[in-house]
Homo-oligomer: A and B are copies of this chain.
């Protein structure tokens, strides 16, 4: 045992030495951060806190209309850009209406016209969001004084989230080493911009498909990819193209800027996602935001403890949707009321008439601390990345009610591993909800499978957040990481896919074959001719 301990210690000393090299050489670097608002900011802040704790100076650019992003002088310097937006659009209202229409469509209660309207509205909403983002970026670049200040500061690194890709334009404009805290880009998932993504086994986001598809599922996947391309070319891309054309001399587009990022810190790992091709400059930090649970506030702890051996359930559908339609909420509350478990439910709408004594309605909950509590039995969730990762980290089985974006895809990934059950909006009524919830609660396989995912997720040589910080510091230390990214993206598509070489080789083979055959025929004809002459 002593020798094992000794070996362990000596390997730790090795690690200590290796770490100390970069800790020392990276003190007091300057990082410029251009984040995305909302839940994306929650993620980015985790990285900022980690960088701050390593002694780096961080500057964050925020829009004047930002809702989540507040100044925090103890953590970072803030540069507020007046984006000229007076009031905030009713994004929440949009999503509730969208949700209500989608439920009608999935239940066959709405016409094809409603379906088309919902899709067009959705594209419009996305296009408008990117338009606003590009507009703000235009204001920043036009502000000569601000740009000079940013240039004079000589930042060591530009860190941004490409879900709203305008930040990437600024990073490129300032010619700074670029690290992305990424999962989504202008048109779908980040990998599609940088890694080979054969459509035969890489499901396109939104398709709801897995990595094992039938023929017609592969056809569906290709059609979804066509929609992605349409979105890139006609819905989102043009806003960025206009920015590029205005402020850069070379012929460029947003995808080429993305492809020049030094490191992609991807908010996923292969315990969660299906295995797929990747690139050397992609670092997987899925679950980097997860941490051990802290004790609950006294009243919440008392409520949770009162559940006894039955434990408790939590339900939250994320920050975009505060509540479900009243009749649906009533049905769900009635199901909860029948359970022996206690329930904590984030619900901001009118109090359901059927609410039981065992159910606590809250405006907000310490989700991570509840998921890490020893008495938790299940998580009723919408399937946002953060919630799913926290569920994996703490090993809590999930009943998922996906609403929009990537939520179905996220849930489907853990359902495929037997750790979750998906309840689609079209099926959402009291009876189905009860049946599925009881299955997740009573069938041990869900818990066992989720705990296996949890143990696999935690089984990494370096913790995801430490890894993210290491690679950010790596890019600062080495002033970029060009040796980790291919320049092949610069090739025209027909060269990248060897279409030109294939055509050349086929033509050459054809010419050779034709010449050989012609020569043989000529020789034969001459031989025959001579014989004929001889015979005559």
Note all chain B residues with C-beta closer than 8 A to A74: none
A119 within 8 A of B: no
Q: Given contacts A4-B23, A20-B8, is CB(A277)–CB(B277) below 8 Å?
A: yes
Give Cα A278–Cα B484 distance, bound, in whole angstroms.
12
A212 within 8 A of B: yes
1/0 contact trace for A444-482 toward B, CB 8 Å?
A: 000000000000101111110011001100100110000
- Find residues 111-132 in chain A having any chain B CB closer than 8 Å to their own CB: none
- How many copies the complex holds: the figure is 2
A142 within 8 A of B: no
Number of interface residues of A (CB under 8 A): 71
Give Cα A279–Cα B195 distance, bound, in whole angstroms.
10
CB atoms of B212 and A487 under 8 A apart: yes
A276 within 8 A of B: yes
CB atoms of B218 and A501 under 8 A apart: yes
A534 within 8 A of B: no
A280 within 8 A of B: yes
CB atoms of A276 and B270 under 8 A apart: no
Nearest-neighbour CB distance to chain B for A221, whole angstroms, equals 8
Nearest-neighbour CB distance to chain B for A275, whole angstroms, equals 5
A328 within 8 A of B: no
CB atoms of B11 and A19 under 8 A apart: yes
Choose one: B281, B487, B505; the contact of A211 (CB below 8 Å): B487
A2 within 8 A of B: no
Note all chain B residues with C-beta closer than 8 A to A456: 478, 483
- Find residues 265-302 in chain A having any chain B CB closer than 8 Å to their own CB: 270-271, 274-281
Choose one: B8, B280, B458, B462; the contact of A278 (CB below 8 Å): B280
Nearest-neighbour CB distance to chain B for A443, whole angstroms, equals 21
A530 within 8 A of B: no
CB atoms of B500 and A215 under 8 A apart: yes
Note all chain B residues with C-beta closer than 8 A to A486: 201, 211, 274-276
CB atoms of A53 and B7 under 8 A apart: yes
Q: Given contacts A271-B483, A277-B277, A280-B270, is CB(A496)–CB(B200) below 8 Å?
A: yes
1/0 contact trace for A478-517 toward B, CB 8 Å?
A: 1000011111100100011110111011000000000000
